[in-house]
């Protein structure tokens, strides 16, 4: 059995979702959102994000981590801040010696919905279809994180052949 942590990075909201993969079966474990206090300085928000991720890793003990790759915003300042949050999201599991795989938004959507340009509602519906026990009112960022974890669960053999663990 393999426990996968999916992460949807963001400075304001970082979604996380935990699934277990047993052969071809995948099941929901937990999901949520880390919301650093946006009144704090950037460094303190990044530290809160790091601490939140450490707690999730400690509490759920994932075997592997999957992260959504950054997309480029029209606003360069927003892109830079997202990149800093992604750095924390990638670094924290690496400090626990966990393998971190990265997937583009189109790879995730295509794997979960079958179309690379699916909207959030389609992704959420498929996450709920694939993981039948997902609670009704999870935040969108948490649903996205579950989609990332599912994508890794489906893509894992190919990812490992490309140099992962």
The Cα 61–Cα 5 span in angstroms is 9
Buried b (16+ CB within 10 A) or exposed e, 102-120: bbebebbbbbbbeeeebee
CA distance 11 to 85: 5
Q: How far is CA 129 from the centre of its chain?
A: 18
Nearest to 85 by CA among 39, 50, 120, 33: 50
Distance CA 63, CA 127 (A): 21
> Active-site residue numbers?
8, 68, 141
């Amino acid at each position: 059995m393999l426990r996968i942590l999916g992460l949807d990075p963001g400075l304001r909201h970082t979604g996380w979702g935990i699934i277990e993969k047993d052969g071809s079966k995948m099941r929901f474990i937990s999901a949520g959102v880390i919301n650093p206090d946006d009144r704090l300085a950037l460094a303190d928000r990044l530290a809160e994000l790091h601490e939140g991720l450490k707690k999730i890793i400690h509490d759920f003990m994932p075997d592997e981590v999957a992260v959504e790759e950054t997309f480029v915003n029209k606003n360069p300042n927003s892109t830079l801040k997202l990149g800093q949050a992604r750095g924390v999201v990638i670094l924290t599991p690496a400090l626990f010696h966990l393998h971190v795989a990265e997937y583009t938004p189109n790879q995730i959507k295509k794997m979960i919905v079958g179309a690379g340009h699916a909207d959030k509602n389609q992704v959420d519906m498929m996450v709920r279809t694939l993981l039948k026990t997902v609670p009704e009112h999870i935040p969108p960022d948490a649903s996205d994180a579950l989609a990332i974890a599912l994508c890794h669960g489906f893509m894992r053999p190919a990812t490992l052949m490309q140099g992962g663990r």
